[in-house]
Chain A
Amino acid sequence: MELSLSLAFRAALQRELKLAWRRRGDLLHPFAFTLLVATLFAIGVGAEITLLQRASGAVAFLCVLLALFLSVDGLFRPDRDDGQLDHLLISPVPLPLLLSARLLAYWLVHGIGLTLASPLLAMLLRLPADQLPVLMLALTTATIGMSAIGLIGAALTVPLKRGGILLALIVLPLYVPLLIFGCGTVAAQANGEPIAAALYLTAALSAFLATLAPFVAAIALRLGMD
């Protein structure tokens, strides 16, 4: 039994990653989106370097957060449209297990993907060089929690015709603690303080959310489908 569970997990993970790989061109969109937001911000604020530099950590973090949010609606919607979601629901494998595979794949593709895009973002926003590794560390950690919240939000809104602004209303307020601790990590580095406290809080929160989210999302999917 244990073997088949881990097999199912691996199969689900492989499927998601393979799908993402086939549509790898689509991954450029969120990447371009982050650069676009950063550009708009810089243009809006003006080319005054000190102001831009002071906000750069938080702005880079926000660009990634928004780009990640945009991909949340795609977590279940394509599968619902082609009937895959029903198969997921009637599968004998526990649904939370399959959902945690999906969460992991989503984080690997979007969370890590966008984190890897952040150096370019940092360059645009003139982020001081010593803050870049901290920013990437904070993003890697915080995107786990954000993906988990996205999983819940997507599961709650998948029966609706479109997620749209309602999805934002559900997901974005829940991002607040991750935003605070994530940006707090970068800010601590900028102020020359130890980053451990904020980073650990981000990590603890992410771990908590990632553990809880598959179960909550499973309940939400079952509520929406029966």
Chain B
Amino acid sequence: MQKFWIWLTRFASPPVFYRVAGLWRPWLGLATLLFGVPALIYGLFFAPADYLQGESYRIIYLHVPAAWVSMLAYVAMATAGAAALIWHTKLSELAVVSIAPLGAGFTALTLLTGMLWGRPTWGAYWVWDARLTSELVLLFLYLGVIGLASAYGDARRGARAAALLSLVGLVNLPIIHYSVHWWNTLHQGSTVRIFGESSIDGSMLWALLASAMAAKFYFAWSLLGRLRLQLLAAESEKAWVAKALNLEPADA
């Protein structure tokens, strides 16, 4: 156990993480392409059309993976936030700051594809469906974290405040989700449910799972890239940064 902690703290040291993350990134990028390209091509052209919704259900291969990642990213951000508050490691603070815009992007994509799906299915771009509404609230939570992190003059203090806020958000997220669901059943008992409840054909399922994997790999790939950049910026006075960016050493 102690060995594991030593290994972990070594891994959290900026130069080591920078190097290891750089080694992982090509593989993550490759995995994204390997899962994503066949899944999207199959979903777009070869999967059978849904007998209820026709062709427009093909948006599912974007919408659902993006939605999963948007929630997963929030959990990841709050986990990093907890680590930042407990151990004060620079890496986890930077992880909070790097995940927030990425998660907000996935949330925005979820909302956008959901709207584009809604128009042909429900006849309106926006319906106050429980899932769409809680996704919208999730976007606001992300925006709050991003805003708080950038509002502080001191980047580290901003990151810690954002970390705490992300934890508060994580505690509230299930409550928000449940309450919105409750509200939704109260106000419109008979909306057409297109997300989730309808059962899904096996041939669609593997493509959906593959595209979900691709979205997760893309998230990890992009996150590592952003984290590496944040590390370089945060440690700009250190010698390893000069070496990584091919600069002359700071005190020549």
Contacts and interface: CB of A to CB of B under 8 A. Distances in A.
Interface string A64-105: 000000000000000000000000000000000000000000
Which secondary structure characterizes the binding site on chain A? Answer: helix
A172 interface: yes
B151 A160 contact: yes
Interface residues of B, number: 27
Interface residues on A, range: 20 to 34
A225 B49 CA distance: 59
A220 B151 CA distance: 15
A207 B14 CA distance: 42
A184 B175 CA distance: 15
B186 A184 contact: yes
B216 interface: no
B238 to A, nearest CB: 24
Contact of B157 (A169, A181, A216, A224): A224
Contact of A169 (B143, B161, B180): B143
A220 to B, nearest CB: 6
B171 interface: yes
A156 B164 contact: yes
Interface string A138-165: 0000000000000010001101100000
A173 B85 contact: no
Interface string B233-244: 000000000000
B140 A169 contact: yes
B179 A177 contact: yes
Contact of A173 (B140, B151, B178): B140
A181 B179 contact: yes
Contact of B152 (A159, A177, A184): A159
B168 A174 contact: yes
B22 interface: no
Interface of B: 85, 137, 140-141, 143-144, 147-148, 151-152, 157, 160-161, 164-165, 168-169, 171-172, 175-176, 178-180, 182-183, 186
